[in-house]
């Protein structure tokens, strides 16, 4: 009888302490934001609604979003100078720039692509594809 109680007690201890919750992971939607993104298209509108998405070549420009909320970019599309970011929800991201200015952008992810829009008076945006890490 004592051995049955001991075995049952060990089993309860393993269940209680062995199945602890892991460290909090970023939300699945946000975790896929992390990494290097290569600029492939840009949208610039002169203010009359005639803007079109245009391919960017060569694929030199990038946006890097790191798990520690740091960021960097060499994009000429209004993202250059970004140093940090925070995800507001599944469609809004705040980018914090070197001059401490925070700008709210819309974003959309689809498979291995990321589109960031906003930050301009007229329509503007940047489309990225996942780059090599």
Q: Tens of pLDDT along 40-93?
A: 999 988 888 899 999 998 779 999 999 999 999 999 888 999 999 999 999 999
Q: Which pLDDT belongs to residue 38? A: 96
Hey, which bits of the chain come out as E strands? 35-44, 52-55, 62-65, 71-73, 82-87, 92-97, 102-110, 113-117, 124-130
Domains of the chain in sequence order? 26-130 (2.40.128.280)
0.95 surpassed by pTM: no
Helices (H) and strands (E) in the chain, counts: 2, 9
* DSSP-derived 3-state class of residue 55: strand
């Amino acid at each position: 009888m004592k051995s049955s109680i001991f075995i049952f007690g060990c089993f309860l201890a393993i269940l209680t302490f062995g199945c602890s919750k892991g460290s909090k992971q970023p939300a699945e939607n946000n975790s896929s934001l992390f990494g290097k993104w290569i600029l492939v298209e840009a949208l610039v509108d002169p203010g009359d609604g005639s803007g079109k998405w245009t391919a960017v070549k060569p694929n030199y420009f990038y946006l890097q979003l790191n798990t520690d909320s740091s960021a960097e970019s060499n994009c000429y599309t209004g993202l250059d100078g970004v140093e940090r970011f925070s995800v507001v929800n599944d469609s809004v991201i705040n980018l914090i720039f070197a001059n401490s200015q925070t700008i709210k952008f819309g974003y959309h992810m689809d498979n291995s692509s990321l589109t960031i829009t906003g930050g301009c008076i007229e329509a503007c945006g940047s489309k990225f594809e996942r780059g090599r890490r």
